[in-house]
Amino acid sequence: MSEEFNNNVTNNPMKDVKGAWRTASLFIEYPTPQYPPVYTLNEEDRTVNGVFYPSLRKIYLSYDHTPENEYDFAIEVLGSWEHWLRLCRGQISQHIKAWREELEVKVRARAIKSLMRTSLEESSAGATASKWLAEKGYAPKRGRPSKEEKAGYLKQEERINDAIEEDLKRVGLKAVK
């Protein structure tokens, strides 16, 4: 029975001979002699030496999900949620971060397009969508500045005031407070 288990483990291209999830070794960009790559990190699919490597980025962006809620993608493409989490924490984490940022833009763009279509309707939903678009509701909102930002602004203002006072002294004038 253990021999059968080992054969199943080694036949899974997502796992190493010990049964652990492969991470960087899955990609042509991180070659590992004992494990053939399965994907590329490129934006587009690649063929290298006659072997086709699908772009994991392209596959990731083809799914209808939101950033950090990629369950279906993880299960269908990688075989496990745990495997996806290991990739997110591993060598390719910066790639995944960029994919998530791009996905965020894609999701927002799709939602805004939908609201644009709704705004053309002769209904209360159309009126609400039109108002939201006219008021640029899609523009990022700026929250209150942090304590660090406030301290930075105060220091900057202090430096500016000091520079103005120095200039006034240099030309023989006095600042009125």
Q: What mean pLDDT comes out for the span 67-86?
A: 95
Read off the pLDDT band of 7 (50, 70, 90): very low
Per-residue pLDDT at 10 = 57
Q: With residue 48 as reference, give the H or E element that holds it.
A: strand 46-48
Distance CA 28, CA 50 (A): 13
User: Is the separation of the CB atoms in 92 and 24 below 8 Å?
Assistant: yes
Instruction: Answer whether residue 9 shows pLDDT above 60.
Output: no
Question: How much of the chain exceeds pLDDT 90, in percent?
Answer: 57
Distance CA 59, CA 103 (A): 12
pTM, rounded to two decimals: 0.70
Per-residue pLDDT at 150 = 85
Copy the structure tokens of residue 30. 């991180």
Read off the pLDDT band of 176 (50, 70, 90): low
Q: Domain residue spans in the chain? A: 2-117, 147-177
Q: What mean pLDDT comes out for the span 71-81?
A: 96
* Radius of gyration of the chain measured on its C-alpha atoms: 27
